[in-house]
Amino acid sequence: MEPTCRSSLWLGRSVCLSLPPSSPLIQAGAAPRAQPGALLTSLSPSPQLGALAVTLGVLLALLGCAAAPDPTLEEAWEGWKSLHAKEYPGEDETFRREIWEKNLRHIQQHNWEEAQGKHSYRLAMNHFGDLTNEEFKRLLNGFIPAQQEELGPVFRASETLKTPVRVDWRAKGYVTPVKNQGFCGSCWAFSATGALEGLMFKRTGKLVVLSEQNLIDCTRKLGNRGCCGGHMERAFQYVRDNGGLNSERVYPYVGTDNSRCRYNPRDKAANCSGFVRVARGSEEALAQAVATVGPVSVSVDASSFRFYKSGLFGCGSGSWRTNHAMLAVGYGTTRMGGHNLSYWILKNSWTERWGEQGYMFLLKDAGNQCGVANQASYPLP
């Protein structure tokens, strides 16, 4: 499956704003699929919510008018709050509204630049719109890099191994629906369960949704910190040492780390014998692991991911401190701007309202973008 284009709060070129029955200017749901080349030009309205085309000049006037509250922008704010069930006590609403408008302007500026060919991806307003950058990083980036890696098997790239040009484990039934970690820094647990879900499907042919809460509650003794962060390898270690992991059905997610460990051995929905690290920094090794093993847990620098909506994302040049865990479920290539570009398919845990129905397409073989190959691992049968 290629990157796609859907309607949302498009603030660039000709602006397509999806409308619930009573509120304009907010993000909508899915629209028809498009190829990546068309992704940067196709702005399709949501069939569920309808759409309103607004010229860029009108929107700029909206955002630039400070003389008086604009009724359309006010309606957009109210609609966004309604869509995402946001409520604010007293004066806090004014503060959050200011943050939301600042983020709105950032999205508009980026998408205007994308229309000029300066970016390969678009942004859209979503449920993170009332957070500052600092709050976003603190609440949702919960991957804690290992300070000292233990000895163990390492997957290294093979010069003789030939891998497919495209891999997408979603199409093979290995991947469960996109989940929601909420305001809990538990991305590491979602990444780990994703890799374990793929492993168990490969072994049994059955796709079972596994319990992140089981990992949050029961891996503190191994160094994980629940909603304050953790590491996938410690999760795999727990499953190995514990002899199993519960399903989501038996051990449901609550998004807090105040619970005692309640593992039920009678519902052993998954197990593993250990884990393998992918050679640090090697995208070639990561691609070979994804192609031959299945979904692989990865960590990335997600500092600038917040409003990603579509296209091929890149962090730019430089070194990155990975702070968020995702699941690599495949990779592929596409034609864009007259060039062949490769991308990773990454599953996130920020709901289907984020990105491409919960997924990101990250530039591949472009200098280890966002540090995607820095700390990758997968469980062993």
Q: Is the pLDDT of residue 257 over 60?
A: yes
Instruction: Report pTM.
Output: 0.82
Over residues 139-156, the mean pLDDT reads 80
45-54: per-residue pLDDT in tens? 333 333 333 3
Instruction: Give the pLDDT score at 150.
Output: 67
Q: Is the pLDDT of residue 113 over 80?
A: yes
3 state DSSP class of 297: strand
Fold of 139-380: Cathepsin B; Chain A (3.90.70)
Instruction: Give the pLDDT score at 334.
Output: 95
Residues 183 and 136: their CA atoms lie apart, in Å, by 9
Over residues 36-59, the mean pLDDT reads 35
Instruction: Give the pLDDT score at 338.
Output: 82
Residues 103 and 241: their CA atoms lie apart, in Å, by 45
As a whole-number percent, the residues of the chain with pLDDT over 90 amount to 71
Q: Is the pLDDT of residue 262 over 60?
A: yes
pLDDT band at 27 (very low <50, low <70, confident <90, very high): very low
Residue type at 31 in one-letter notation: A
Active site includes 187? yes
Residues 128 and 342: their CA atoms lie apart, in Å, by 28
Residues 225 and 218: their CA atoms lie apart, in Å, by 10
The catalytic residue among 110, 119, 231, 324 is 324
pLDDT band at 59 (very low <50, low <70, confident <90, very high): very low
Active site includes 261? no
Report the b/e string of 189-207 with b at 16+ CB within 10 A: bbbbbbbbbbbbbbeeeee
Instruction: Give the pLDDT score at 146.
Output: 74
Q: Is the pLDDT of residue 201 over 70?
A: yes
Q: Do domains 15-130 and 139-380 have the same CATH topology?
A: no
The catalytic residue among 111, 224, 323, 348 is 348
272-331: per-residue pLDDT in tens? 999 999 999 999 999 999 999 999 999 999 999 999 999 999 998 776 789 999 999 999
Instruction: Give the pLDDT score at 333.
Output: 97
207-252: per-residue pLDDT in tens? 999 999 999 999 999 999 999 999 999 999 999 999 999 999 999 9
pLDDT band at 147 (very low <50, low <70, confident <90, very high): low
Q: Which of 100, 53, 99 is nearest to 76 (CA)?
A: 100
Q: What is the DSSP letter of 228?
A: G
pLDDT band at 130 (very low <50, low <70, confident <90, very high): very high
In contact, 356 and 261? CB cutoff 8 Å: no
Compute the mean pLDDT over every residue in the chain, rounded to the nearest whole number.
84
CATH architecture, range 15-130:
Orthogonal Bundle (1.10)
pLDDT band at 17 (very low <50, low <70, confident <90, very high): very low
355-376: per-residue pLDDT in tens? 999 999 999 999 999 999 999 9
Active site includes 324? yes
pLDDT band at 69 (very low <50, low <70, confident <90, very high): low
Q: Which of 36, 30, 45, 289 is nearest to 178 (CA)?
A: 30
Report the b/e string of 286-309 with b at 16+ CB within 10 A: bbbbbbebbbbbbbbbbbebbbbb
Listed by start position, the domains of the chain span 15-130, 139-380
The catalytic residue among 187, 227, 315, 370 is 187
